[in-house]
Amino acid sequence: MPPGLTGPGPAPHTLLLEAEGLAKTYPNSRAPALAQFSLSIAPGEIVGLLGPNGAGKTTAISLMTGLLPPDAGRVRVCGVDFREHPRQVRPWIGLVPQHIALYSRLTAAENLRYFGSMYGIGGRELKERVRACLATVGLADHEGGRIDAFSGGMRRRANLAVALLHRPRLLFLDEPTVGIDPQSRNLILERLAEMSRAGAGMLYTTHYIDEAERICSRVVVIDEGSVIAHGSPRELADAHPGCGDLGGLFLRLTGKALRD
């Protein structure tokens, strides 16, 4: 059984995430990294957050996961204000950072056990969840392998497994398939789709437009900190005829100039 929506959590709520008017300007920077950013995610929904480099995707995720305080706006998870009740909200969310946020000298199972313990899970339950999560991401036979001995794809999958261990209602995935082979990528996307069907909500950032077309029910395109388009892939295609696919639409919206 894939993790998600099976553990203790908040009372059923129509929206898992409500972000309203988020804004952030970094010190020593005149341009805002994010301005008037609003987003909602319902249970079972995967929302793609697309944008070129420096568009504000990671800033948006950092604000919505409590890693950064917003200059303005607010975030509610399952109806609970994040800033006011961070301890209550944190067990409901999971983060798959862009970096492999694991202890490279620990094994996959040791990493999962550590992060699981930090959520207060222990004993036999922790052992079972670790085994299930590793199986979910295709690492059942590698639980004793150290992360620094893993391939890029295995590390990405282990990175995902850690975020699933406490069975969050809402997952934030920051480019979770960067630099891995098609097989690992396919497995990750399949698992995310299964979790979505089980009721988990997700915010998914990626540079791979085909991934967004494949698993996202809605897509938000941002550039220079502002939302420039949103809707389902179909709605966006209809609204911008002549682009061919989502990739063509993305280039039309964000331009062909290189971004640093």
Partner 1 sequence: MRPLIATLLKELLLLYRDRMGLLVLFAMPAVLAVVVSLVQENVLKTTGAARMDVLFVDQDRQTLGPLIQEQLARIENLTLVTELDGRAIDVEQARRLVDKGRYEVCIVVPAGLTAAVRSRTGDQIAEAFAGEAVPGGPPPPHLSVYFDPLVQGVFRSSLMNALGRMALAMELEIKARALSEALPARVRQALGAATGRMVADPGLPTVQLDPSWGGRRLMGVVSEQSRLKRLPTSVQQNVAAMSVFGIFFIVLPLCGIFIRERQEGTLARLRTLPVGYLTILAGKMGAYLAVCWVQFGFIVLVGKLVLPLLGTPVLELGADTPALAVTVTLVALAACGYGLMLGAVAGTLEQAAMFGAVSVVCAAAVGGLMVPVYVMPPAMQTLSAFSPLAWGLTAIIEIAAREGSLASVQRELLLLAAFCAATLAVAWARFGRCDRPAST
- What would the two tokens of residue 10 be? 């908040």
Shortest approach of partner 1 to residue 122 CB, angstroms?
Answer: 6
Is residue 51 within 8 A of residue 110, CB to CB? The reply is: no
**Nearer CB in complex with partner 1: 170/229:** 170
Is 62 a binding residue for partner 1 by CB under 8 A? The answer is yes
Q: Is 128 exposed, middle or buried (0-12, 13-18, 19+ CB in 10 A)?
A: exposed
**Nearer CB in complex with partner 1: 1/87:** 87
**Nearer CB in complex with partner 1: 125/235:** 125
The candidate with the shortest Cα–Cα distance to 21, out of 40, 41, 37, 39, is 37
- Alpha carbons 219 and 153: distance in angstroms, whole number: 25
Is 248 a binding residue for partner 1 by CB under 8 A? The answer is no
User: Residue from 118, 140, 149, 239 that binds partner 1 (CB under 8 A)?
Assistant: 118
Site string for partner 1, 3-22 (x = CB under 8 A): --------------------
**Nearer CB in complex with partner 1: 118/140:** 118
- Alpha carbons 164 and 111: distance in angstroms, whole number: 12
The candidate with the shortest Cα–Cα distance to 174, out of 10, 36, 71, 56, is 56
Is 81 a binding residue for partner 1 by CB under 8 A? The answer is no
**Nearer CB in complex with partner 1: 47/68:** 68
Is 66 a binding residue for partner 1 by CB under 8 A? The answer is yes
Stretch that binds partner 1, among 93-101, 127-135, 136-144, 213-221 (CB under 8 A): 93-101
Is 54 a binding residue for partner 1 by CB under 8 A? The answer is yes
**Nearer CB in complex with partner 1: 9/248:** 9
Is residue 170 within 8 A of residue 157, CB to CB? The reply is: no
Is 100 a binding residue for partner 1 by CB under 8 A? The answer is yes
Strand-pairing partners, residue 256, are none
User: Residue from 9, 10, 44, 91 that binds partner 1 (CB under 8 A)?
Assistant: 91
Radius of gyration of the chain (CA): 18
- Alpha carbons 60 and 115: distance in angstroms, whole number: 24
DSSP 8-state assignment for residue 27: T
Is 246 a binding residue for partner 1 by CB under 8 A? The answer is no
Chain residues 161-190 in contact with partner 1, contact rule CB under 8 A: 162, 174
- Alpha carbons 7 and 4: distance in angstroms, whole number: 7
User: Residue from 2, 52, 59, 218 that binds partner 1 (CB under 8 A)?
Assistant: 59
Give the count of beta carbons closer than 10 Å to the beta carbon of residue 234: 10
Which helix (H) or strand (E) segment holds residue 21: the answer is: strand 17-24
φ/ψ of residue 229, rounded to 5? -165, 150
**Nearer CB in complex with partner 1: 6/104:** 104
Contact residues for partner 1, defined by CB under 8 A: 26, 33, 53-59, 62, 65-69, 86-87, 90-91, 93, 95, 97-106, 110, 113-115, 117-120, 122, 162, 174
